[in-house]
A and B are shown apart, each in its own frame.
Chain A
């Protein structure tokens, strides 16, 4: 078994340093969200603020209903979207991983091509809003762009074709299992590490997205997700404060200040940070392929 040697010590030190580099900005974000606004503006962000204040969080709690609604949208859309995304991606990736499937290269190209070319926002917008009428429905947060990424399909397909031993398929074929069954009992369980990984990224994609809300949620703002709220606030300030209209500048004064933006950013991140550890067990498990084979 592995033992604590120089290699372990060096690698762990490097990883600990990197972890600190990653955590520090989040800590800074949190500290600035509990720093008194005036101190924040006058002295800048600091890990050790001179004066604390929870006014920003008080503000968020006061506007509770809006935030809660947006949380519900974010969580619901992320859960459903991720699930559908993983299933669709895996189903698409599996046939592509079979080397002799007739037409495989054509199918592969069709998938890959979508990564290279996109029609731009206006044609997409016209199609989704005029043909499919998703504007101001929950589908607006769910469907455009995020549901399936060719990139993820390719990653799963590479994993299926490289990390699952041929012998397993051959054994199943000899047993007369159907292709669907082979997919279900061999590819899916053995592909768990990549499926969880891809699921994580699909989930993060949904959680972080604000463009769909921006374009396709117009009149029914109840369907805004957390990121939409945050971005709306932050961008309104940027646009208004730097406008060449002095009246617009004045309007910026009424918007929530920096501390509140930081607090909302933190609140938007928090749930995912809390959930991560629970997903950990799915990644870390190395799958003892050898055992399965035997």
Chain B
């Protein structure tokens, strides 16, 4: 054994020394390079003589800043055409911004898996996509640039002007602004997409005026019990059909609204009291229990897809297969046309819910967005580009739709569509992902035949049908509670799928909810709730509760809201 100990000691020592040499050299080098950039002056405005000076360097048309723009590509693009778009964009970027852009597309899988590793390794990036639930660990690892100081610059003020103060700064944790949110509909008004032919057949279409709704919210909203009646009719007429497709994805926002304060462990029970700032356990609320009972009842009656708790196929696949009647979904203006296209089936949209409208919480607004990596060689230049994504339609149009005349054309009414000879099946470049980052409201409306130039206004107006959570703008910093969150997630996941798809069965709902809560408290839920409450109280002391804008209140007051 003596020999072993010696060997072990030698191995360990060797390991340390050599790792120091190999890893240490590169990472310490990076730190030295970027430290000044991160703390550099942030109010260096672009000069008028065509050069841009920052704390790090000076850039001109002949010496542009080379910038990596990383984003998530949800649809496959042609690589050569993407490069052509980049080249075209640079012809605009270099003279106007002294920036030469390189696109770095990530697949969604890469974004959710290995991109985090790359960030942790401090690989060099400039503008990067951010996701609200992972970003706190990136901040914690000092991998993100705090945008707060930059918001006071001229570029920052342009962003504030475009997005509004509250939206522009919503992606902040503990005063650290890590990014800018994607401009999109942020309100989770929801209901059902239902197959049109079955609705027609069963007389549902006339009964609920389904053909009059194009998916745009008009204020008519039904109680979920109505959906139960509809499913009963469908089941009776078509026993072979699944009335409601659900799958292993949490659909609770369709049934009630709470402000989850990022992670659902400790929430504001908005349903019970719109103004409450007391952090409570969501899984003990009446809303949660009611939803579980409703779904379990449906499941027992055979309304819900039998494999809901484990299925991940997604709605379009199931609808196309032809034996599914409906699915629960968020509904926004233009939803119906898009859904019908991807389902390859005509359907109707119908709003359901107990409350008039949903509430607006930080996470729904800050869901996806863009931030700046701390490894950026010049965060000031990166911020300029970020700012362009939110304020310069030319940049957004290039990124989203490609080259005018080649990839798309501008129609007479000011909307855009594929260029002649190009369509959905053969396009080479068409991102259509403004909902995941940037300010799509400044780009062209994509007119797939169902939209007009006023579409962005409609989408923005969709956000007006909402009350704001008093904690809007607050995001809780869970970095000291990773241990708890891991255990809490395990506890929740053990019971969530069965409860939120109804597959637990009516008889077991109450017992299962009790087990869930026991497991959550055993995993430290109370500590997390207390910590969250303390952070929220501190935030409220600084900012005060967020009030719902008067215009929203007026709209809701005048809305043609018809209960049941």
Contact = CB atoms under 8 A, between A and B. Distances in A.
Per the CB under 8 Å rule, do A and B touch in the complex?
Answer: yes
Contacts of A110: 7, 11
A123 B248 CA distance: 34
Of A39, A125, A126, A235, chain B has the most CB atoms within 10 Å of the CB of A126
B19 to A, nearest CB: 7
A246 B193 CA distance: 13
A230 B367 CA distance: 28
B436 A240 contact: no
A110 B11 CA distance: 7
Contacts of A113: 11
The secondary-structure label for the interface of chain B is helix
B18 to A, nearest CB: 11
B320 interface: yes
B548 to A, nearest CB: 23
B543 interface: no
Contacts of B74: 240, 248, 251, 254
Given A113-B11, A215-B114, A219-B104, A41 B313 contact: yes
B113 A214 contact: yes
Interface in A93-109: 105-106, 109
B358 to A, nearest CB: 12
A267 interface: no
A204 interface: no
B27 A218 contact: no
B368 interface: yes
B342 interface: yes
B316 A41 contact: no
Nearest to A243: B249
A214 B114 contact: yes
A192 interface: no
B312 A238 contact: yes
A162 interface: no
A257 B249 contact: no
Contacts of B188: 246
A245 B368 contact: yes
Interface in A29-47: 37-42
Nearest to B103: A219
Given A126-B26, A254-B75, A241 B121 contact: no
A202 B364 CA distance: 47
A109 B315 contact: no
A37 B321 contact: yes
B110 interface: yes
Nearest to A123: B23
A130 B322 contact: no
A253 B11 contact: no
A241 B314 contact: yes
A242 interface: yes
Interface in A211-265: 214-215, 218-219, 221, 231-232, 235-254, 257-258
Of A39, A109, A250, A254, chain B has the most CB atoms within 10 Å of the CB of A250
A253 B347 CA distance: 16
A9 interface: no
A131 interface: yes
Nearest to A219: B104
Contacts of B321: 37-42
Contacts of B392: none
A60 to B, nearest CB: 14
A129 B30 CA distance: 14
A127 interface: yes
B109 interface: yes
B123 interface: yes
Contact of A125 (B118, B248, B312, B435): B118
Nearest to A122: B120
A121 interface: yes
B28 to A, nearest CB: 11
A131 B22 contact: yes
B399 to A, nearest CB: 16
Contacts of A250: 338-339, 342
Given A109-B11, A240-B108, A243-B249, A125 B317 contact: no
B134 interface: no
A76 to B, nearest CB: 21
Contacts of A221: 79
Contacts of A231: 109
A125 to B, nearest CB: 5
A236 B249 contact: no
Interface in A112-134: 113, 119, 121-123, 125-127, 129-131
Given A247-B184, A254-B74, 10 more contacts: A105-B3, A125-B121, A130-B121, A241-B314, A242-B247, A242-B249, A245-B367, A245-B368, A248-B74, A251-B108
Interface of A: 37-42, 105-106, 109-110, 113, 119, 121-123, 125-127, 129-131, 214-215, 218-219, 221, 231-232, 235-254, 257-258
Q: Which 4 A-B residue pairs are closest in the complex by CB-CB distance?
A: A253-B316, A241-B314, A253-B342, A41-B321
15 contacts: A37-B321, A38-B320, A42-B321, A42-B323, A110-B7, A123-B23, A218-B110, A240-B108, A247-B436, A248-B108, A250-B339, A253-B315, A253-B343, A257-B320, A258-B313
